Amino acid sequence: MKPLQEMQVKKKDAFRPSFTAWVLLAELCLYACLYFALKSGNEPVTALVIGMIVLGYFGLVWQK
Amino acid sequence: MALTWYNWLLSFLPILTVILLMLVFKWSGRRAAAASWLVAALIALVAFGADWNLLAWSQAKAFLLAMDILWTVWGAITFYHLANEAGTINLIGDLVPQWMKDRTLQILMLTIILTSFMQGMGGFGVPVAIGAPILLSMGFSAVDSVVMACLGHAWAVTFGTIGAAFNALVAVSGYSPASLAPDSAILLGLAILPCAILILFISQKWQGVRHGMPAIILLTLGMGLTQYLMATAGMGNVAVFGAAIVGGISLFFIRGLPLYRPKSVDATQRPTGKISSRLVLVSVSPYVILVILGFLAAIVPPIRNVLESWKVSLSFPQLSTAYAWVVPAGHGKEILPLTHSGTLTFLVVLVGGFIYASNGLLGKGSPRRIIQKSLHTAIEPSLGILAMVGLSQIMLHTGMTSILARGLGMAFNRYFFPAVVPFIGMLGAFLTGSNNNSNVLFAPLQLEAASILKLSVPLMLAAQTAGASVGSVMSPAKVIVGCSTIGLAGKESRVMKKLLVYDLIVVLFIAVVATVWSWLRGS
């Protein structure tokens, strides 16, 4: 029988909750901005938002 | 976009990437999903005539869909951590053996009944996120706990989640609920049989299957019949609820059968002391409140109408590729914040937290721990879901999804097409993580193919939604959620490997039944 608490978050896990959670929240806000940037038709702003989303996303996914 | 071998293989490449990276290279769900998203985006740009603008709009749509899913997932994760902090998960793990001495019946209770009941309310990984930790606390391995919880409600997705997937099938096909419900309810009801057999095989091997067979047959008949009667009587949105309740009551009668009366103490069960009924009542009260709120919001029309008056919806322009694949303009996913299962779950977390705290089940540092653990647990599934939903939207907006389904459909003649239909449904659900989305994607295509091949349309649509129901539980997006509450975050490949085999067996069972049924009907 494995105590449930032991199966929970382990220290060696990759994520640091506070920092990563904030970055994820910022990423979600950027996604929301994407819609309005596309609606406005402003291409440089849209490209900037897309770039930040992609960088932020892959940064989050591949962080150690 | 023309259907050629080359296009079909390119369309299949993103799916193949997810499968290979997770199963062969043992990548975590979030990384495999992100890499596959990249592959789909490159194929869309290079071979399917997409431009940056189309890709960006598809991701804006995907964000709306993902938020709808994530709100539910975050609620379920917070609810789980609240229950775990208060000791409720372990308490339920202790209570079930007291109520039901037979180990086989305990397993059926926690998988086929409990997870299906949860699916009736929430969905999207909630049954696994809540059910798997209870199985773990009863001594099963983490991987087996997730696989068993997934299989437990695989049959219940179409008529679960307040019938959302069935309503989508009705909406996109244009057929009435009365004409689609009978075949769908029968196919999904029959699927309980292989799901239950496989669960007992995983947990107790053939000995458990033999011992549990009478109970499995009685449950399949009782729950399948209840689902059929409720669905055909116009109560499809609560058919899984009804079936799970009847299943639970049936199991209490089944435990009285001579076969299941305790003969000796099972050494695999942990000894438990006497648990006070007040503690039980306080501990399960949030679950009861969740059920009552779910019912009130979904079933009582005046309440539903008031709560559904606030909607979040965004408009999207018409989009087309260079190869004239057109996605018409329209509104994206409509979100109903006040009746959303995520909102209800967060409300229950607040009320349940107050009840637990006022009864001394939560300590001073509990709220902080619950929030921290919830944030930590939610990151992995959030990243995985964002990528998988984004991937499915790229494929949908460039015609890759349609090419995949058309290719599968044209490869078989009318006698064997019914066998392919559930696999197409499964494919859609695997990609999008949703029975609902699979029906929206593929039901019109299945309908068209069934009409051309002169097959029964209600039966083919039933096979579509049954395949999607079973397929949805093994989608990477859902598996990531299921693994998040059980310490398997980042190790989803271990679950996927096992679940894929068992899930395909259930889809194969549905394919065989649909094919034989189609032959017998002469359609």
Higher pLDDT, B301 or B146: B146
* B67: chain A residues, CB-CB within 8 Å: 28
Is residue B268 included in any domain, yes or no? no
Higher pLDDT, B492 or A46: A46
pLDDT at B124: 64
The C-alpha atoms of residue B225 and residue B228 are separated, in whole angstroms, by 5
Q: For residue B475, what are the domain limits?
A: 5-261+275-317+330-521
Type of residue at A38: L
Exposed, middle or buried: residue B268 (CB in 10 Å: 0-12, 13-18, 19+)?
Answer: exposed
Is residue B323 included in any domain, yes or no? no
Distance of CA B309 to the CA centre of its chain: 27
Most confident of B5-14, B191-200, B256-265, B333-342: B191-200
pLDDT at B207: 92
pLDDT at A11: 45
Long-range (24+ apart) CB contacts under 8 A made by B335-338 are B335/B64, B335/B67, B335/B68, B335/B71, B335/B311, B336/B307, B336/B308, B336/B310, B336/B311, B336/B312, B337/B310, B337/B312, B338/B297, B338/B307, B338/B308, B338/B310
* B491: chain A residues, CB-CB within 8 Å: none
* Cβ B345 vs Cβ B70: under 8 Å: no
Residue with tokens 């806000």: A29
- Secondary structure of residue B320 in the 3-state scheme: strand
B179-220 tens-digit pLDDT: 999 999 999 999 999 999 999 999 998 998 999 999 999 999
Higher pLDDT, B122 or B247: B247
**CB of B359 within 8 Å of any CB in chain A?**
no
- In B, residues 36-55, which contact A (CB 8 Å cutoff)? 52-53
pLDDT at B272: 55
Any idea what DSSP says for residue B360? T
* A26: chain B residues, CB-CB within 8 Å: none
Most confident of B112-121, B459-468, B476-485, B492-501: B459-468
pLDDT bin (cut points 50, 70, 90) of residue B398 is very high
Is residue B269 included in any domain, yes or no? no
Residue in chain A nearest B60 by alpha carbon: A35
Nearest to B379 among A1, A6, A21 (CB): A21
**What are the residue ranges of helices labelled H in B322-416?**
341-358, 366-398, 400-410
pLDDT bin (cut points 50, 70, 90) of residue A15 is very low
Q: Do A61 and B31 touch (CB under 8 A)?
A: yes
Is residue B369 included in any domain, yes or no? yes
Is residue B414 included in any domain, yes or no? yes
Backbone CA torsion sign across B463, B145, B125, A29: negative
pLDDT bin (cut points 50, 70, 90) of residue B123 is low
pLDDT of B512 higher than 60: yes
* B142: chain A residues, CB-CB within 8 Å: 7
pLDDT bin (cut points 50, 70, 90) of residue B404 is confident
- Listed residue (B415, B409, B436, B437) closest to B520, CA to CA: B415
pLDDT at B38: 94
- Listed residue (B432, B434, B460) closest to B447, CA to CA: B460
Overall average pLDDT of the B11-15 stretch = 89
**CB of B478 within 8 Å of any CB in chain A?**
no
Overall average pLDDT of the B73-91 stretch = 83
pLDDT bin (cut points 50, 70, 90) of residue B58 is very high
The C-alpha atoms of residue A15 and residue A10 are separated, in whole angstroms, by 10
- Give the number of domains in chain B: 1
**How much is the mean pLDDT over chain B?**
85
B467-482 tens-digit pLDDT: 999 999 888 878 887 8
Task: Please give the C-alpha separations between residue B223 and each of A31, B198, B208, in angstroms, as whole numbers.
Answer: 43, 17, 21
pLDDT at B270: 52
pLDDT of B462 higher than 90: yes
Higher pLDDT, B427 or B152: B152
Distance of CA B492 to the CA centre of its chain: 16
Overall average pLDDT of the B125-143 stretch = 84
**CB of B60 within 8 Å of any CB in chain A?**
yes
- Secondary structure of residue B326 in the 3-state scheme: strand
Higher pLDDT, A1 or A38: A38
pLDDT at B180: 93
CA distance to partner chain A, nearest, from residue B91 (Å):
12
pLDDT at A10: 47
Higher pLDDT, B413 or A22: A22
pLDDT bin (cut points 50, 70, 90) of residue A36 is very high
Overall average pLDDT of the B214-234 stretch = 93
Overall average pLDDT of the B163-192 stretch = 87
Residue in chain A nearest B387 by alpha carbon: A57
* B63: chain A residues, CB-CB within 8 Å: 28, 31-32, 34-35
Is residue B270 included in any domain, yes or no? no
Tokens standing for residue B460: 């083919």
CA distance to partner chain B, nearest, from residue A30 (Å):
10
pLDDT bin (cut points 50, 70, 90) of residue B282 is confident
pLDDT bin (cut points 50, 70, 90) of residue B458 is very high
pLDDT at A1: 41
pLDDT of B505 higher than 90: yes
pLDDT at A64: 58
pLDDT at B311: 83
pLDDT at A12: 45
Whole-model pTM: value is 0.77
B240-279 tens-digit pLDDT: 878 998 999 999 899 888 888 876 555 455 555 667 888 8
- Listed residue (B216, B286, B204, B293) closest to B250, CA to CA: B216
CA distance to partner chain A, nearest, from residue B442 (Å):
27
pLDDT at B98: 79
Q: Enter the ipTM.
A: 0.78
